[in-house]
């Protein structure tokens, strides 16, 4: 098959282009933050990071999902420490104790301006849009973001299959890996290894491709998907499981890869350990491959690919989207403009 690479070597090494990607892709995308099980009941909340911003996700007392920027209006500290979870009607800053209700309204604290209600209004937490894809939670930071239903239509249908048991999964562990490589190589490597479904519709495979040991058996438990731009979901054979790989671009040549592992509650401890050990090895091998590709890019020797057409389609589609977004060819609507 003829090479149809859209991006050039310099597109993976340019700091200027990386700055543009931050502005035009990352700030206008939906970002995975966790699983609904982490906020199953009113008052439950957790602190995490999305798009390099500290975030709190909470279940309000009326059961609605909420997300806020995790920055205290007093001295700018994080309110809930990153990685911490809790259950409370209030979000209380760990530093001096200012507190907010779960609707983000400021409620008081030591030396706070409670005598001036109009000022208290200005101290409300910055709210973020929050959505669910199956049991997975996403937040967005801007108002002119891609419409959620449009971008998740195909994937939402697939993940609704009760055989997958995604809602019964429990979060087990997050492992974070550092790769000395551009974020786009990480995504492309994932697609090259496993054909993916990508939004939007142009040139996308019709449905996800079964992959792995159970491919011939059409095992519904085996699935790999990618949601633009950097949410990677993998379901493997065996007990019900899911691993979410989230790419966090740090610079044009450095990327963090967060791997969240989910397992069914009744999965044996041994199975979980073997599975995560295997995934760890795969991840480390992948990072070696990606870092070697980045080194070649530095010498303008763009690595070639000899993958199957279906897999190439995913990569070409991804690269075309990158190009389109950088050129500002997508509005906040699905259509190209």
Q: Which residues bind ligand FES (CB under 6 A)?
A: 72, 74-75, 77, 93, 95-98, 109
Output the smallest distance, CB 89 to ligand FES, in A.
Answer: 18
Shortest spacing between CB 107 and ligand FES, in angstroms: 12
CA distance 179 to 255: 5
Nearer to ligand FES by Cβ, of 110 and 117: the residue is 110
Least CB distance from residue 202 to ligand FES, whole Å?
46
The answer to whether 245 and 258 have CB atoms below 8 angstroms apart is yes
Q: Could you tell me the two tokens for 23?
A: 């502005």
* Nearest residue (CB) to ligand FES, 29 versus 112: 112
Among residues 77 and 305, whose Cβ is nearest to ligand FES?
A: 77
Q: Report the nearest approach of ligand FES to the CB of residue 97 (Å).
A: 6
Q: Which is nearer to ligand FES, 121 or 333 (CB)?
A: 121
Q: Is 238 left (phi over 0), alpha (psi -120 to 50) or beta?
A: left
Q: CA-CA distance, 227 to 32, in Å (whole number)?
A: 10
Strand pairing class (106-108; 99-101)? antiparallel
| For ligand FES, the closer CB: 123 or 259 | 123
d(Cα 274, Cα 278) in Å, to the nearest integer?
6
Give the side-chain half-sphere CA count within 13 A for 185.
Answer: 31
C-alpha to C-alpha distance for 311 and 193, rounded to whole angstroms: 8
Q: Which helix (H) or strand (E) holds 331?
A: none
CB of 222 to ligand FES, least distance (A): 46
Q: How far is the CB of 276 from ligand FES (least distance, A)?
A: 36
Distance from C-alpha of 101 to C-alpha of 87, rounded to nearest angstrom: 12
Q: Which is nearer to ligand FES, 75 or 116 (CB)?
A: 75
Q: Which is nearer to ligand FES, 125 or 164 (CB)?
A: 125
Whichever of 19 and 83 has its CB closer to ligand FES, that residue is: 83
Kindly state the smallest distance separating residue 76's Cβ from ligand FES, in Å: 7
- Cβ contacts of residue 306 below 8 Å, gap of 6+? none
**58, 67 in Cβ contact below 8 A?**
yes
Residue reference for tokens 């790999």? 224
User: Cβ contacts of residue 335 below 8 Å, gap of 6+?
Assistant: none
Q: Which is nearer to ligand FES, 71 or 209 (CB)?
A: 71
Asked if 68 contacts 56 with a C-beta cutoff of 8 angstroms, the reply is yes
Cα angle, residue 246 at apex, residues 242 and 252 outer, rounded to 5°: 155
Q: How many whole angstroms from its chain centre is CA 181?
A: 18
Minimum distance from CB of 96 to ligand FES (Å)? Answer: 3
Closest approach, Cβ 70 to ligand FES, in A, equals 11
Dist. CA 209–CA 215, nearest whole Å:
9
């Amino acid at each position: 098959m003829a090479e149809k690479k859209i991006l050039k070597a310099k597109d993976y090494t340019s700091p200027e282009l990386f700055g543009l990607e931050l502005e035009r892709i990352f700030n206008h995308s939906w970002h995975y933050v966790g699983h609904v099980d982490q906020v199953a009941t009113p008052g439950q909340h957790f602190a995490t990071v999305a798009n390099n911003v500290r975030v709190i996700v909470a279940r309000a007392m009326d059961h609605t999902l909420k997300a806020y920027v995790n920055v205290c209006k007093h001295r700018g500290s994080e309110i809930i420490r990153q990685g911490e979870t809790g259950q409370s009607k209030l979000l209380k800053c760990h530093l001096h104790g200012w507190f907010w209700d779960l609707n983000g309204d400021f409620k008081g604290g030591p030396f706070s301006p409670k005598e001036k209600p109009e000022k208290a209004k200005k101290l409300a937490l910055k709210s973020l849009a929050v959505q669910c894809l199956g049991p997975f939670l996403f937040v967005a930071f801007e108002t002119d973001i891609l419409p959620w239903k449009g971008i998740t239509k195909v994937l939402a249908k697939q993940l609704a299959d009760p055989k997958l048991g995604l809602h019964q999964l429990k979060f087990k562990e997050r492992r974070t890996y550092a790769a000395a490589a551009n974020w786009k190589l990480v995504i492309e490597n994932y697609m090259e290894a496993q054909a993916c479904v990508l939004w939007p519709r142009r040139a996308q495979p019709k449905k996800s491709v079964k992959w792995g040991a159970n491919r011939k058996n059409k095992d519904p438990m085996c699935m790999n998907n990618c949601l633009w731009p950097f949410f990677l979901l993998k379901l493997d054979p065996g007990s019900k499981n899911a691993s979410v790989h989230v790419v966090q671009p740090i610079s044009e040549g450095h990327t963090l890869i967060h791997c969240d592992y989910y397992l069914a509650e009744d999965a044996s401890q041994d199975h979980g350990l073997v599975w995560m050990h295997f995934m760890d090895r795969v991840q480390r091998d992948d990072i070696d491959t990606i870092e070697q590709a980045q080194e070649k890019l530095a010498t303008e020797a763009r690595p070639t690919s000899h993958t199957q057409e279906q897999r190439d389609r995913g990569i070409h589609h991804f690269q075309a989207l990158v190009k389109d977004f950088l050129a500002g060819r997508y509005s906040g609507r699905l259509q190209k403009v």
